[in-house]
């Protein structure tokens, strides 16, 4: 009897969610193919572990940056396309501060303030790394977060606040304009081009062995993983246990009701821009630290992945952005088992599309700060 009832429930679930069945079957097939490749020698354990590690790094980078985007959407209800260039602005500010501290008294001010640029500063001579110049790295991270936070607040006061009653489309278009202004201000003042940041020779690393192969994990990758996870945890604690966090969650759920109950909504909006901007600037700095280079398109090149993470997790959900970032990062790297590296984004966006077909509201569903 119980077996018959279970069969009926399974049959009803299959009829109601045929895409879910397809997804489960596909996941089983892909997992089986990975096992087959591991046993047959087409894929070694070391390569699989390396893909998972790199996917975690990318996922935490995208997730941390996505938290700021989810925050502004949950409170202000518009997609901020200037988010990527805000990330770039914070990264540049932080790395200028890092160079100034690390090279004080050794190199010309112009070379340090322009991150080398046309002055061809030798980054190996400067020797920036988390172990060689820890004070400069910490100060740079703080400057990146503070600068991006203040810049986000200024942009809101000048551009977004006067337009709030115009609707999401007008704000979206305005944010595209803001993105272009920020990017080309950096280009005009610091000049375009990829800049080296860290000294590879002075960055400690360890070799890990799995299944007879080895891959390298360096101190900057570990720093990104630890700090990104720590900042996400700090955001959770703030939202869960502080008065500001409760006010933000109340506004995300119902702004009118929050205003009626006496919550200072404009103060919460300012705090949202400051907190979201700070996390975004920190994310940009950490991404540049892990990559060892910085460009004027650093944030713009990650913007699609950031939006994908936010949409996958549930538009406006901060925890959804964290989870969505990890799913996007790991799935994009694992897709390299079957796809060439030039198709790396295909795997990430395929996962997003399939998940949204199954659950349109996202993994954690709906517009909610919590």
Q: What is this structure's pTM?
A: 0.88
pLDDT value of residue 204 = 82
Same domain, 283 and 249: yes
Decide if 70 is inside a domain. Answer: yes
Q: Is residue 349 part of a domain?
A: no
Same domain, 69 and 115: yes
Q: Which residues of the chain have pLDDT under 50?
A: 1-2, 366-369
The CA-based diameter of the chain, rounded to the nearest angstrom, is: 83
User: Which domain, by its residues, includes 34?
Assistant: 1-42
Total structural domains within the chain: 2
Q: What is the pLDDT of residues 341-352, one digit of tens each?
A: 777 777 777 777
Q: Do 221 and 159 share a structural domain?
A: yes
Q: Is residue 215 part of a domain?
A: yes
* Per-residue pLDDT at 14: 52
- Phi-psi domain of 365 (left: phi exceeds 0; alpha: psi -120 through 50; beta: other): left
| CA contacts within 13 A on the Cβ side of 198 | 28
Please check whether residue 327 lies inside any domain of the structure: no
- Looking at residue 227, its pLDDT comes to 95
82 & 8 share domain: no
User: For residue 320, is it within any domain?
Assistant: no
Indicate whether 362 belongs to any domain. no
> Which of 248, 275, 298 is the C-terminal boundary of a domain?
298
Is there a single domain that holds both residue 17 and residue 131?
no
Same domain, 144 and 225: yes
17 and 147 share one domain: no
Q: Check whether residue 190 and residue 258 sit in a common domain.
A: yes
In this structure, the chain runs to a length of 370
- 287, two tokens: 């991404």
For residue 290, tell me if it sits in a domain.
yes
The reported pLDDT for the residue numbered 368 is 47
CB 294 within 8 A of CB 345: no
Both 122 and 244 in one domain: the answer is yes
Tell me, what's the pLDDT at 93? 96
Residue 306 belongs to some domain of the structure: no
Same domain, 98 and 8: no
Encoding tokens for residue 99? 């160079």
Q: What is the pLDDT of residues 158-200, one digit of tens each?
A: 998 888 777 778 888 899 999 999 999 999 988 878 888 888 7
Q: Are residues 209 and 252 in the same domain?
A: yes
For the chain, what is the HEC assignment?
A: CHHHHHHHHHHHHHHHCHHHHHHHHHHHHHHHHHHHHHHHCCCCHHHHHHHHHHHHHHHHHHHHHHHHHHHHHHHHCCCCCCHHHHHHHHHHHHHHHHHHHHCCCCCCHHHHHCCCHHHCCCHHHHCCCCCCCHHHHHHHHHHHHHHHHHHHHHHHHHHHHHHHHHCHHHHHHHHHHHHHHHHHHHHHHHCCCCEECCCHHHCCEEEEEECCEEEEEEHHHHHHHHHHHHHHHHHHHHHHHCHHHHHHHHHHHCHHHHHHCCCCHHHHHHHHHHHHHHHHHHHHHHHHHHHCEECCCHHHHHHHHHHHHHHHHCCCCHHHHHHHHHHHHHHHHHHHHCCCHHHHHHHHHHHHHHHHHHCCCCCCCCCCCC
pLDDT score recorded for residue 338 = 84
Residues 101 and 12 reside in one and the same domain: no
């Amino acid at each position: 009897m119980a077996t018959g009832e279970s069969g009926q429930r399974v049959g009803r679930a299959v009829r109601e969610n045929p895409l879910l069945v397809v997804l489960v079957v596909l996941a089983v097939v892909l997992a089986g193919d990975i096992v087959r490749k591991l046993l047959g020698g087409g894929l070694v354990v070391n390569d699989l572990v390396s893909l998972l590690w790199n996917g975690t790094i990318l996922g935490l980078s995208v997730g941390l940056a996505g938290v700021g985007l989810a925050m502004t959407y949950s409170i202000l209800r518009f997609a901020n396309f200037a988010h990527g260039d805000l990330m770039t602005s914070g990264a540049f500010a932080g790395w200028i501060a890092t160079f100034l501290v690390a090279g004080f008294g050794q190199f010309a001010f112009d070379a340090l303030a322009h991150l080398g640029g046309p002055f061809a500063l030798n980054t190996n001579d400067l020797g920036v790394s988390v172990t060689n110049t820890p004070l400069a790295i910490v100060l740079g991270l703080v400057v990146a977060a503070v600068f991006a936070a203040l810049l986000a607040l200024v942009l809101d006061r000048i551009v977004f606040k006067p337009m709030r009653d115009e609707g999401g489309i007008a704000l979206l278009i305005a944010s595209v304009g803001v993105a272009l202004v920020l990017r080309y201000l950096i280009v005009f003042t610091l000049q375009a081009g990829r800049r080296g940041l860290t000294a590879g020779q002075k960055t400690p690393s360890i070799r890990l062995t799995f299944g007879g192969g080895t891959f390298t994990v360096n101190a900057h990758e570990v720093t990104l993983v630890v700090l990104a996870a720590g900042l996400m945890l700090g955001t959770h604690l703030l939202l869960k246990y502080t008065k500001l966090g409760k006010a933000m969650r109340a506004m995300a759920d119902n702004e009118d009701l929050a205003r009626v109950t006496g919550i200072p909504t404009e103060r919460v909006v300012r705090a949202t821009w400051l907190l979201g901007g700070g996390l975004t600037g920190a994310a940009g700095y950490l991404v540049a630290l892990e990559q060892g280079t910085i460009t004027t398109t650093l944030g713009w090149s990650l913007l699609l992945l950031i939006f994908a993470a936010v949409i996958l997790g549930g538009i406006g959900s901060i925890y959804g952005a964290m989870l969505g970032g990890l799913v996007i990062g790991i799935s994009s790297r694992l897709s390299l088992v079957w796809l060439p590296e030039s198709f790396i984004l295909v795997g990430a966006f395929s996962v997003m599309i399939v998940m949204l077909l199954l659950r349109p509201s996202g993994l954690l569903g709906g517009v909610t700060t919590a």
